[in-house]
Structures are given as C-alpha cells and as structure tokens.
Amino acid sequence: MTQTQAFQSHGLMAAMRAILAALIAGAVIAMGVLLAAFLTMAALAVAALSIAGAGAWWLYAKVRGRRPARRDPNVLEAHRGPHGWTVDGDQPEERQ
C-alpha cells in the first residue's frame, strides 16, 4: 500500500468544501438578517419621526389658534341678508 492509497485526499477536500460552503451560507444568511434588522429600524425611526412631527404640528396649530381665512378681493360672495341678497356682506342701509 502506497502513501497515496492510505491517505485519500478526496474525502478531506470534500469535507473542507462542505465546511467552507456552510460558512459562506451562514455569512449570507447573517447579512440578510442584519440588513432586515437595519431596514426595520430605519422604517421605525421614520415612523416615529413622522408621528412626532405630526404631534408637533398639531400642538403648534392648537397654540396658534384659528386664523381668519384670507379672502381674495376679486371674488364676490353673496349672502342672504334681512332685505334680500347682498354681496360681500354689505347690508343696504335701512330707509326710514
């Protein structure tokens, strides 16, 4: 029996390839899980910031109070008054 026959390197190389393939597969799976965790963290951070911004806007609107609506001076609005329809809220003067 020669040394080559006693020590079969094909089995050892197959085992080394299997171990290397398992390490690479584990690394790829770990990178996928890590990427998913970071994307989830980023999505939660964006959601938290948007909720905080909406809350700040709501609080600002409550503190500021209502503002009168700006009216376009070129648009006439008709309102029904006690003596018929009027434009821009101008009430006709009552005659005595």
Each residue's pLDDT tens digit in the chain (96 positions)? 555 555 566 788 889 999 999 999 999 999 999 999 999 999 999 999 999 999 999 999 999 888 777 777 677 777 777 877 777 545 455 555
Tell me the whole-structure pTM to 2 decimals: 0.51
CB 41 within 8 A of CB 34: no
CA–CA dist 75, 87 (Å, integer): 10
Give the DSSP letter string of 36-96: HHHHHHHHHHHHHHHHHHHHHHHHHHHHH---PPP--TT---EEEETTEEEETTPPPPPP-
Enumerate the β-bridge partners of residue 22.
none
